Amino acid sequence: MSVHVTKPASHPYVALLLAGSAAVPASPATWLNTRRAAALERANALSVPTTRDEEWRFTDLTPLTKVQFQPVSAAADVAASDIAAYVVPEAAVRLTFIDGIYVPALSVRGKLPAGITVELLGDALKTQAALIEPHLAKLAVGEHDLFTALNTAYLQQGVFVHAAKNTAFKQPIHLLFVATRKGAAAHPRCLVVAESGSECCVIEDYVALGEETCLTNAVTEVAVAPNASVRHIKLQRENNAAFHISNCAVTLAKDARYLAHAVTFGARLSRNNLTVTQQGEGAHAQMDGIALIGGRQLADTHTLMDHTQPHGTCEQVHKTIVGGGAHAVFNGKVFVREGAQQTDSSQQSHNLLLSDKAHVDTKPQLEIFADDVKCAHGATVGQIDAENLFYLLSRGLPEAQARNLLTYAFGAEIIDRIPVPSLVAQLEKNVMARTEGGV
């Protein structure tokens, strides 16, 4: 997005967003106050991107700017039964936030093994600032991104996940963000730090109760140290009136592994930015994505895999299933910098259109400055395969059922790779329900 001349609150909508917020109390950590102040200054200087900005060509934020959002100061009354459908029994811990506010009564915080920390960011800043300072608002800077800058400016509620050196913890850590209130703006922040040789799995789960228009502006930073591994499952199942903007920045040290599964079902308008920077040799990233949308939904995913060191590998598969008059956008950048020899990076974008009015824009963007690399990419846009459909019909399945099964299969290929059985079952049910309803 373009940077405009710095003036106090240059953009009226940004001014409105900022004016609506209660002042964030100063943190005892001066470095954090400095970063917040800088972010606030950036937010003031930036404007809401328009389709004239290359990065937002296909995603028109005008509907967002027509709604006035404000952060909420107290959590709405939500019962445990309201979120029962989202419980993940495999999870070791669940932190639940309602409209951005942490709610202990809806959270489950059992004893975690030594070396694994899951804390509210505010609490962790008091006791573990030294672990946080090198990363927070350093990985996701928001120099040119209004939403990241806004999130940092508001930085108050959030989660800190830390895996100490050589601590392997496969049990998922469930972070549940529930949107409920009309006009509520939540700016959740997560920081995941996996020290060398460690392993952890984080589920970032965004859901909505009711049909109110809310804004979620999430920022997540993931620092993966040498030989560590992070599995990151991001689910967005908000309602069809919601606006969801998320920015995730990941850094990979030598031989680090990052495995991402992004699932997008909800929101009227969603934008997912995922930036993975390979800072050490031999790091590996896997980026799976699936968006299933219909009606008037728009789901935009922008990814950047930045290979700056040799021997990096990346496997990316992004799929969309688009019904009704919905619009899916995928932009996948792969940068292979000079010196990042022996990089092996692949990107696949597969898109299934279920109606004449469904629309997809997919754009692979490879920029390669090293000469001994393997980079494959492919993009397909199509309808349900006629031969596959005939095969199922010839086995007696009625046409509607056969189409649903093929639609489901298209998405299941991605969903089935999430190694959390209850979540796979939940998501498959979601997909089935949506495909049966014509998405």
Partner 1 sequence: MINKNAKILLEVRDLTATVAGVAILKGINLTVRAGEVHAIMGPNGSGKSTFAKVLAGHPAYSVSGGEVLYQGKDLFALSSDERARAGMFLGFQYPVEIPGVTNSAFLRLAYNTVQVPRGKDDLDPLEFDDLVREKMKLLEMDPGFLSRSINDGFSGGEKKRNEILQMALLEPVLALLDETDSGLDIDALRVVAGGINKLLNADNACVLVTHYQRLLNYITPDHVHVMSAGRIIKSGDKALALQLEERGYDWLLDDKKAGATA
Does the footprint of partner 1 cover residue 397 (CB under 8 A)?
A: yes
Q: List Cβ neighbours of 310 (8 Å cut-off, separation of 6 or more).
A: 281, 282, 339, 340, 341, 342, 343
Residue 206 Cα distances to 124, 230, 351, 366, angstroms: 23, 19, 23, 31
Tell me which residue has tokens 């008037």: 296
Q: How far is the CB of 389 from partner 1 (least distance, A)?
A: 8
Does the footprint of partner 1 cover residue 412 (CB under 8 A)?
A: yes
Does the footprint of partner 1 cover residue 424 (CB under 8 A)?
A: no
CB nearer to partner 1: give 245 or 405: 405
Q: How far is the CB of 398 from partner 1 (least distance, A)?
A: 5
Of 8, 25, 89, 396, the one binding partner 1 (CB under 8 A) is 396
Please state, in angstroms and rounded to a whole number, the distance separating the CA atoms of residues 102 and 179: 12
Q: Site residues for partner 1, window 352-391 (CB under 8 A)? A: 385-388, 390-391
Name the one range near partner 1 by CB under 8 A: 99-107, 167-175, 324-332, 405-413: 405-413
Q: Indicate the DSSP class of residue 70.
A: B
Q: How far is the CB of 320 from partner 1 (least distance, A)?
A: 15
Q: List Cβ neighbours of 214 (8 Å cut-off, separation of 6 or more).
A: 69, 99, 179, 180, 181, 182, 183, 184, 185, 186, 208, 238, 241, 242, 243
- Distance between start and end Cα atoms, the chain: 32
Distance of CA 319 to the CA centre of its chain: 15
CB nearer to partner 1: give 240 or 407: 407
Helix (H, G, I), strand (E, B) or coil at 188: coil
Of 272, 364, 408, 434, the one binding partner 1 (CB under 8 A) is 408
Using only C-alpha atoms, the chain has a radius of gyration, in whole angstroms, of: 21
Q: How far is the CB of 409 from partner 1 (least distance, A)?
A: 3
Of 101, 329, 405, 427, the one binding partner 1 (CB under 8 A) is 405
Does the footprint of partner 1 cover residue 402 (CB under 8 A)?
A: yes
Contact in structure between 82 and 105 (CB atoms under 8 Å): no
Q: How far is the CB of 439 from partner 1 (least distance, A)?
A: 16
Name the one range near partner 1 by CB under 8 A: 64-72, 211-219, 362-370, 399-407: 399-407
- Which residues are 229's β-sheet partners? 199, 257
Q: How far is the CB of 159 from partner 1 (least distance, A)?
A: 33
Residues that bind partner 1 (CB under 8 A): 385-388, 390-391, 393-399, 401-402, 405-406, 408-413, 416
